[in-house]
């Protein structure tokens, strides 16, 4: 008791430290440990060294799936930091210059972000379902039945559609980060440019964008992390298998199949599953580290 009397902060931080250590830190260490073992979940574990990693990267049965999924993750991340980031930037600027209805737009663009991914998946279904979907219905009504498509059933366009759906859902967050940053641009600079007769476009590219270093850094870093850990929406739309021909298969879906989805494959190897998640973490960590160095060099991060 005297020990605690002398250290009053302990009664405040120890419950948190216990909970956080047990359910956040220990599992991460356990996952690393597990990735070097062979274990089906019951019985004893067998130490197998780097076998799981070798299997993941070189065994054609798994490496093909993994590399396809990883490729999709990278392709998708690239879309996030180019297309989605661009849209967020433009939308934020429109709000910043107080376009007509800005208050309404801010609210409504952000709205899908607070809607559950399960419901976003449902919205996608009622729009794109080949038989019952709104899109094919409308195309039929306006006499353009020739434009009807299987949408997500067509592996050639499924990926593009997925990016569009996620853009629609998540554009609001990054947009608001840009928007908050734009408010930091000194009024005097804006006014000076108005007096000098600079147009809106010039002001946007020459004055506002160079001031957005911090929000670019934040949005790019968050975009990379989200891009490499995406799961919900492709899972809800494409199922555990990642759509037709694995066109929207991502690493986390592969991970889910390998660990919790024994029903799909008949065998579960928890060590192998842990190995996928650790590999992914290493990839995410190294990419973010390189990016933050790179962004610093470009003076994006003052």
| Residue 223 near residue 85 (C-beta atoms within 8 A) | yes
Residues 140-199 within binding reach of another protein (CB under 8 A): 168, 172-173, 176-177, 180-181, 194, 197-199
Under the binding rule (CB under 8 A), the answer on residue 43 touching another protein is no
Instruction: Give Rg (Cα) of the chain.
Output: 24
Phi first, then psi: give them for residue 38, nearest 5 degrees.
Answer: -110, 120
Is 45 an interacting residue with respect to another protein (CB under 8 A)? no
Beta bridge partners of 46: 38
Applying CB under 8 A, the site for another protein has a residue count of: 94
| Residues in 79-98 at the binding interface with another protein, rule: CB under 8 A | 90-91, 94, 97-98
CA angle (75 as vertex; 55, 129 as ends), nearest 5: 100
How far apart, in whole angstroms, are the C-alpha atoms of residue 91 and residue 154? 30
Here's the x/- map for another protein, 204-233, by CB under 8 A: it reads as ----------xx--x---x--x--xx-xx-
Part in contact with another protein (CB under 8 A); list of ranges 29-37, 46-54, 72-80, 144-152? 29-37
d(CA 274, CA 183): 44
Which positions from 3 through 22 interact with another protein, judged by CB under 8 A?
7-13, 15-17, 19-20, 22
* Packing angle, helices 270-297 and 213-229, rounded to 10: 160
Give the DSSP letter of residue 41. Answer: S
The residue (of 60 and 188) whose beta carbon lies closer to another protein is: 188
- Least distance to another protein, CB of residue 235, Å: 8
How many other C-beta atoms lie within 10 A of the C-beta of residue 73?
Answer: 21
Tell me the closest approach of the beta carbon of residue 302 to another protein, in angstroms. Answer: 12
* Segment contacting another protein by CB under 8 A, of 28-36, 48-56, 69-77, 153-161: 28-36
3-state SS, residue 37? strand
**By C-alpha distance, which of 159, 220, 210 is closest to 185?**
210
Q: Assess 101 for contact with another protein (CB under 8 A).
A: yes
Residue 35 CB, shortest distance to another protein, in Å, is 10
Which residue of 50, 83, 108, 145 would you call a contact of another protein, by CB under 8 A? 108
């Amino acid at each position: 008791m005297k020990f605690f009397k002398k250290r009053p902060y302990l009664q405040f931080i120890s419950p948190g430290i216990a909970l956080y250590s047990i359910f956040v830190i220990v599992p991460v260490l356990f996952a690393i440990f597990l990735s070097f073992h062979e274990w089906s979940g019951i019985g004893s574990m067998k130490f197998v060294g780097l076998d799981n990693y070798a299997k993941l990267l070189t065994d054609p049965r798994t490496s093909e799936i993994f590399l396809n999924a990883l490729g999709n993750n990278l392709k998708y991340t690239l879309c996030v930091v180019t297309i989605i980031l661009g849209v967020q930037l433009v939308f934020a600027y429109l709000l910043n210059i107080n376009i007509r209805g800005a208050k309404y737009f801010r609210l409504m663009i952000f709205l899908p972000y607070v809607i559950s991914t399960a419901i976003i998946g449902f919205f996608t279904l009622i729009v794109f379902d080949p038989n019952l979907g709104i899109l094919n219905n409308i195309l039929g009504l306006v006499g353009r039945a020739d434009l009807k498509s299987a949408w997500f059933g067509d592996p050639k366009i499924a990926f593009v559609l997925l990016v569009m759906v996620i853009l629609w859902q998540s554009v609001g967050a990054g947009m608001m980060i840009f928007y908050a940053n734009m408010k930091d641009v000194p009024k005097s600079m804006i006014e000076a440019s108005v007096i000098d007769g600079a147009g809106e476009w010039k002001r946007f590219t020459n004055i506002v964008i160079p001031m957005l270093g911090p929000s670019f850094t934040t949005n790019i870093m968050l975009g990379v992390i989200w891009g490499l850990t995406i799961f919900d929406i492709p899972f809800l739309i494409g199922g555990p298998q990642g759509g037709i021909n694995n066109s929207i298969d991502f690493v986390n879906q592969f991970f889910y199949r390998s660990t919790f989805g024994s029903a799909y494959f008949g065998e579960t190897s928890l060590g192998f599953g842990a190995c996928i998640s650790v590999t992914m973490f290493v990839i995410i960590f190294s990419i973010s580290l390189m990016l933050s160095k790179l962004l610093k060099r470009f003076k994006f991060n003052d």
